[in-house]
Chain A
Amino acid sequence: MTEPKHPNLAAIVVGGSAGALEALAHIVPALPGTLPVPVAVVLHMLPRRPSGLCAVLGELTPLRVKEAEDKEPLAPGTLYLASPNYHLLVEREHCFSLSMDEPVLFSRPSIDVLFDSAADAYGPTLCGVLLSGANEDGAAGLKHIHDAGGTTVVQAPHSATSRQMPAAALAAFAVDHVTTPDRIGPLLELLAAGGERAEPRAEGARS
């Protein structure tokens, strides 16, 4: 069976650290409750801080917002947050799994861990979004999404509180979309509806 050249989007993964919550606060209000795909988000947080993040983001978006639970199937119209102190991964059966493996780039949850596993699970039907952040977690994972044929979005460094994370991705490969948070929301909605795909790439693992 050959894969379609422009497969419909099946999932969105988002990562960021310092400054990413501000960016997300601009992005999520633009996403409709009827978004036909799930959104999984890793933000670096202090391990012991109780996470009020679900409540904060839930106020801002019509999407259902919840912490991702182990073996929970990914459902459309839902924004899943990674729990503090656990890695969040996507299995190929399109359910989440958690792990307490070693931190990656001092981070647990790690953006690379989510992105790598989601790229394996979804291949070209995945969209990865990397936001503001002060370390390089996520850049390798976003490249993995790109190499698996998925669509990549990076917050424009000039709009980011911390530029290091977006800059690391931009230095690593040719990102599909580089734009500001107020445009990322509408872009994701469009991508999820099957429009605005990046041009098919000659290189990469799309074949």
Chain B
Amino acid sequence: MMALAPSRADSEFEHLFEAIYERYHYDFRRYAEASLRRRVAAALVHFGCDTVPHLEQRALSDPQVFTELLRFLTVQVSDLFRDPTYFRALRDEVVPVLRTYPSPKVWVAGCATGEEAYSLAILLAEEGLLERTQIYATDIHPESLRVAQAGVYALDRFARFSENYLQAGGRASLSHYYTAEYSSAVLARSLKKAILFADHSLATDSVFAEMQLVSCRNVLIYFERALQDRALGVISEALCRKGFLGLGLKETLRFSSHASEFREFVPDARIYQRL
């Protein structure tokens, strides 16, 4: 698959995202361009469109097409306990501090299909904190939020999930938290009860509650620097003093204008603490 030639497609590309913003209020205008270009190129093939304006016309005239296009524009991949070192660091270093709050609030920003939020719920349950913790899990993609809310995943993914869970310092067996039904695994109701799934955009929405921990992993990589700064501003404002921010293992605050508002807390796990 070739990327679109930038010179020719530039204005078409901008026009597409301006039009989407106008019509649907989804803001992709400041997404990191290089990978967005590839995803639009893939969408052109999928929808059988020859040109970006053709795709734009179809997406604007048919909301169904737009909903399907969203799937191409946002990257929706995750696992339970992905990057076990991150969850181990949360358990060992962050949970002892969360414990000191009467009712901690945790925000999974950009939760996709929910795996990260459920991983945190399991971890907090094992630490005896879930009962008094509120987890917010937000995303811009309605279909992903539906999947997340259902908490049903393909059973064949659970061999890898279990391995992750154990490496992350799991105290029991992952099978404790789901029921197998045919080829699916349904996560426990007690986990779902602790999570509020909601529509929220780091590109256009603002703070909705004060948080003790924000987990926002492999979300900001899809934003260009200006939009990263906007999103990090929202997160920084949401965090209480000494609250925690977890990023993806290859993400850094170093190039952000909000870097000075945080200190490195567990550098290897990319966990930062709000000053």
B95 to chain A, nearest CB (A): 25
Q: How far is the CA of A144 from the CA of B251 in the complex (A)?
A: 28
B residues within 8 A CB of A90?
A: 34
Whether A70 and B1, one on each chain, are in contact in the complex, defined by CB atoms closer than 8 angstroms, is: no
Whether B32 and A101, one on each chain, are in contact in the complex, defined by CB atoms closer than 8 angstroms, is: no
Whether A113 and B220, one on each chain, are in contact in the complex, defined by CB atoms closer than 8 angstroms, is: no
- The listed residue (A67, A72, A91, A144) touching B32 by CB distance below 8 A is A91
A86 to chain B, nearest CB (A): 6
Query: Which secondary structure characterizes the binding site on chain B?
Result: loop
Q: How far is the CA of A95 from the CA of B252 in the complex (A)?
A: 14
Query: Which secondary structure characterizes the binding site on chain A?
Result: mixed
Whether B3 and A99, one on each chain, are in contact in the complex, defined by CB atoms closer than 8 angstroms, is: no
Q: How far is the CA of A91 from the CA of B39 in the complex (A)?
A: 15
Q: How far is the CA of A207 from the CA of B238 in the complex (A)?
A: 50
A180 within 8 A of B: no
Whether B3 and A97, one on each chain, are in contact in the complex, defined by CB atoms closer than 8 angstroms, is: no
Q: How far is the CA of A152 from the CA of B80 in the complex (A)?
A: 42
Whether B35 and A99, one on each chain, are in contact in the complex, defined by CB atoms closer than 8 angstroms, is: yes
B104 to chain A, nearest CB (A): 28
* Known contacts A97-B221, A104-B1, A117-B3; A87/B35 CB under 8 A: yes
B residues within 8 A CB of A86?
A: 250
B residues within 8 A CB of A101?
A: 35, 38-39, 75
A104 to chain B, nearest CB (A): 7
Q: How far is the CA of A104 from the CA of B1 in the complex (A)?
A: 9
A residues within 8 A CB of B38?
A: 101, 113, 116
Q: Which one of B43-51, B57-65, B222-230 contacts A?
A: B222-230
A residues within 8 A CB of B119?
A: none
Whether B225 and A116, one on each chain, are in contact in the complex, defined by CB atoms closer than 8 angstroms, is: no
Interface size for B (C-beta < 8 A) is: 29
Q: How far is the CA of A171 from the CA of B31 in the complex (A)?
A: 35
B residues within 8 A CB of A89?
A: 32, 34-35
Q: Identify which of residues 36-73 in chain A touch chain B, using a CB-to-CB cut-off of 8 Å.
A: 67, 69-73
* Known contacts A86-B250, A100-B75, A101-B35; A95/B6 CB under 8 A: no
Whether B250 and A120, one on each chain, are in contact in the complex, defined by CB atoms closer than 8 angstroms, is: no
Give A contacts to B, CB under 8 Å. 67, 69-73, 83, 86-87, 89-93, 95, 97-101, 104, 113, 116-117, 119-121, 140, 144, 205
25 intermolecular pairs with C-beta atoms under 8 Å apart: A69-B251, A69-B252, A70-B248, A71-B225, A71-B228, A72-B255, A86-B250, A90-B34, A95-B255, A98-B250, A98-B251, A99-B35, A99-B75, A100-B75, A100-B77, A104-B1, A113-B38, A116-B38, A117-B34, A120-B3, A120-B34, A120-B37, A140-B2, A144-B3, A205-B5
